[in-house]
Amino acid sequence: MAAGLARLDSVESGLCFGRLDLADDTDTGPSATGGPRATERPAVTERPAATEKPAGTTEHGSGRPTTGETATESTRAGERRYIGRLGLRADDGEFTPLLIDWRAPAARPFYVATALHPDRVRGRRHIRSRGRRVTGVWDEDFSSGASEVNGDAALLEALTAARTGRMSDIVPTIQAEQDEVIRAHHAGVLVVQGGPGTGKTAVALHRAAYLLYTRRERLARSAVLVVGPNPTFLSYIGDVLPSLGETGVLLATVDQLFPGVTARRAESPAGALTKGRLAMAEVLAAAVADRGRPPAEDHVILVDRRPMTVPAALCTRIAERVRDTGLRHNEAAPLFRKLLVEALAERVAARYGRDVFDGEPLLTEADLDGIRAELAEDADVTALADALWPTLTPTALLAGLYASEERLAAAAPALSAAERATLHRPEAPAAWTASDVPLLDEAAELLGPVPPGAPDPAEAERAEEVRLAREALEVAYGSREAQSENADEAEELAAWDVVDAETLAERQAEADTRSAALRAAADRTWAFGHVVVDEAQELSPMAWRLLMRRCPARSMTLVGDIAQTGDPLGAPSWEAVLAPHVGERWRLAELSVNYRLPAEIAEVAAGVLTRIDPARRAPRAVRSSGERPWWRRAEDATPAGLAARGAALAAAERAALPEGRVALLVPRSLLPAARRAVGALADGGDVVVLDPATAKGLEFDVVLVVDPERVVAESPRGLNDLYVALTRPTHRLGLLHPTPPGAPPTPPAGLTGLTEARDGDGG
């Protein structure tokens, strides 16, 4: 239903965007055999629709385009194909193709034909439409030379259009190197490395749409997962796949991938650093093993109303036998209970003693069976078995570990005391952080599911969660800053965590009529048919372990840029990230053209890239704006002073650009001041204020970076953060640089290619 609606909606956004004129197979003319000299510029003619005519498209299912042409009509010169967002056939009895889906092999020449390799293409037409009206037409005549870049004018128009804050699809202007990645046959892990603005995100999403088209049946059942770095980014890219008619995709951040848990608590940088390390896998394995190690004390229970001592050594022996089976902790719980019951039954039998004449036990095997059955039902015995080998949920395990210094010391001897301190939370957590989620997932894997018939720890935990949520509310009240940046939020969150668990339980009990993507969202053990990871360079080793579990078939597209890695635990190289999971069985594709930045801004960014890694080559920009990026002095270097100045400049840019988006990117420490300053502007509502790390993956028409030197100084990978900040604008870049009064006009350290703007200048 949703998929059908999305397909119909796509009719309104450029349904038909291209036409191909193909030579006959037998044609041996110049365009079929290799065409003109590659150095010749294309014969691109732009025909903005001064007299707009209805698009050469059709209402869905109504039959023919209004031009009366069909998608593959034969012309005198050869064949003519119309390319669009989806495939349409006429209801003429012969299902004549009207429009060819951009993903079909027959559409491919539209994206890859060049002057050197025109294949059979004689001419290519780019059609722009709004609603059902044609608003622009560009023709490329391959018989007189073709462009290096597909559809120069159409592309340029797309690249220079004002940004809306939502990414749009690029299906009318996909470039050849991008098309190659989108249609790559590789079934395993494909890494797409490329500098900022090379279209990695766009390519990854179009690849997802392509795979859904070519492997529709399998992927409709197993669903596709697209992982992004944060909710802002997910909402930025959220329109792209629906605009391509695809809805069977789950968009999520890593911390949304553990059903029933919502990461709402802020994590300290030190905590994130400890929790993301691979060492945590061992810590958790040790923590699980620790819960299968009975305490060194005897227990006394009542059997037949008589006390019976259960020695610690007996419990330890049973636990060792259970561990030796290699079963996962929860799966082993029934065995522990069975062996305990057997051992206790022998002790009961011993009470009756042996026959004084022949020394044989007084009880028969049948008597013993009866005793075992009774003991298995006995509340004391059950409670003892549960206490010695408790079935555990991942949240219970992690909460128990964090809460106890002794348990942390036992499970994490390799961590330093300071690292263990970042894990320790004396109060049981009522809200989890993003870094906890991969640990919960690891714990779930180690513990295994709770076996049927075992006491449901979730029941007990739910009651416990309610209690903890109440406690957390009280704690939140007492120590507001300790909880999160927003204490009010923390209060609600504790309550919401409880609601989430209940909602999830209800949802799982429902008859399952949901789409695969929705069912996948509620199932930790779901195996996705394909996983796309954007900004993949940022993920910690523990996050990678979670993602790899979601895709046992390792059919993945990972896109990112090592030079933009900002997270201290992020990827130093793709080899380092992938070796533990797929060895050398992955492929690298590189994108080399920068579609976002004008050449003038790209030059400034390239200078920073050289400082990050002299061996890296910046992607080549395809256009120039004729405008130099600028810097301005800020004489008041206090946070409030810088923020106010930045906000005022942003407001001026905003006024000069009624359509389009302006962003103020500030060092993290200046975020509160900058938000206040922009909030105080009369019309500052749509100026976006972000720190560089959160701006990763986004883009704006105008970007103002406040205090670039502080951006660099504030984090271990500060240069990478600055590189990210400088590579967000599509049109203009300005920098605000604290400079004492009277100081010489020196631009921010290490930056070249900037011009100084002074008050009164336009810039």
> Min. distance of Cβ 545 from ligand ATP in angstroms?
24
> Min. distance of Cβ 256 from ligand ATP in angstroms?
20
> Min. distance of Cβ 589 from ligand ATP in angstroms?
12
65 is in an annotated binding site: no
Which is closer to ligand ATP, CB of 628 or CB of 661? Answer: 661
198 is in an annotated binding site: yes
> Min. distance of Cβ 696 from ligand ATP in angstroms?
7
> Min. distance of Cβ 149 from ligand ATP in angstroms?
9
Q: What are 73-76's contacts with CB under 8 Å, separation 24+?
A: 75/21
Instruction: With H, G, I as helix, E, B as strand and everything else as coil, classify residue 562.
Output: helix
> Min. distance of Cβ 169 from ligand ATP in angstroms?
8
Checking phi first, is residue 98 left (phi over 0); if not, alpha (psi -120 to 50) or beta? alpha
Measure the CA–CA gap between 190 and 718, rounded to whole angstroms: 28
696 is in an annotated binding site: no
Show the CA angle centred on residue 7, arms to residues 5 and 9, nearest 5°. 70
> Min. distance of Cβ 697 from ligand ATP in angstroms?
4
Of all helices (H) and strands (E), which one includes residue 101? Answer: strand 97-101
Residues lying near ligand ATP in the complex (CB under 6 A) are found at 155, 158-159, 167, 170, 173-175, 178, 194, 196-202, 561, 595-596, 697, 699, 727
Which is closer to ligand ATP, CB of 88 or CB of 192? Answer: 192
321 to 137, 317, 347, 425, 656: CA distances (angstroms): 77, 6, 19, 33, 75
Q: Is 68 exposed, middle or buried (0-12, 13-18, 19+ CB in 10 A)?
A: exposed
Which is closer to ligand ATP, CB of 173 or CB of 715? Answer: 173
Measure the CA–CA gap between 262 and 295, rounded to whole angstroms: 34
194 is in an annotated binding site: yes
66 is in an annotated binding site: no
Helical segments of 85-199, H only: 108-112, 152-160, 176-182
Residue the block writes with tokens 């691979």: 278
Beta bridge partners of 128: 136
Which is closer to ligand ATP, CB of 654 or CB of 696? Answer: 696
> Min. distance of Cβ 727 from ligand ATP in angstroms?
6
Measure the CA–CA gap between 138 and 678, rounded to whole angstroms: 42
With contact defined as beta carbons under 8 Å apart, do 203 and 181 qualify? Answer: yes
197 is in an annotated binding site: yes
Which is closer to ligand ATP, CB of 148 or CB of 461? Answer: 148
> Min. distance of Cβ 240 from ligand ATP in angstroms?
9
CA dihedral sign, ordered 669, 674, 679, 685: negative
Which one-letter amino acid corresponds to residue 260? Answer: G
Total number of residues shown for the chain: 763
Q: Nearest-CB residue to ligand ATP?
A: 199
Which is closer to ligand ATP, CB of 594 or CB of 715? Answer: 594
Which is closer to ligand ATP, CB of 227 or CB of 322? Answer: 227
Which is closer to ligand ATP, CB of 139 or CB of 561? Answer: 561
With contact defined as beta carbons under 8 Å apart, do 537 and 560 qualify? Answer: yes
Residue 486: name the closest of 229, 266, 263 by CA. Answer: 266
Helical segments of 404-551, H only: 405-411, 417-423, 436-447, 457-478, 480-483, 487-509, 516-521, 541-550
Which is closer to ligand ATP, CB of 391 or CB of 727? Answer: 727
Measure the CA–CA gap between 752 and 739, rounded to whole angstroms: 17
> Min. distance of Cβ 665 from ligand ATP in angstroms?
13
Instruction: With H, G, I as helix, E, B as strand and everything else as coil, classify residue 392.
Output: coil
Measure the CA–CA gap between 258 and 346, rounded to whole angstroms: 44
Both tokens of 747, joined, read: 């631009």
Which is closer to ligand ATP, CB of 114 or CB of 198? Answer: 198
Which is closer to ligand ATP, CB of 391 or CB of 564? Answer: 564
> Min. distance of Cβ 698 from ligand ATP in angstroms?
8
Sort strands 133-141 and 306-310 into parallel, antiparallel or unpaired: unpaired
Which one-letter amino acid corresponds to residue 398? Answer: L
694 is in an annotated binding site: no
Measure the CA–CA gap between 169 and 19, rounded to whole angstroms: 18
> Min. distance of Cβ 269 from ligand ATP in angstroms?
23
Which is closer to ligand ATP, CB of 429 or CB of 692? Answer: 692
With contact defined as beta carbons under 8 Å apart, do 419 and 274 qualify? Answer: yes
Measure the CA–CA gap between 440 and 260, rounded to whole angstroms: 11
Non-local CB neighbours of 721 within 8 Å, separated by 6+ positions: 566, 691, 692, 693, 711, 712, 714, 715
201 is in an annotated binding site: yes
Which is closer to ligand ATP, CB of 36 or CB of 228? Answer: 228
> Min. distance of Cβ 208 from ligand ATP in angstroms?
13
Helical segments of 298-328, H only: 312-324
Residue 677: name the closest of 708, 709, 711, 638 by CA. Answer: 638
Binding-site residue numbers are 194-201
Binding residues for ATP: 194-201
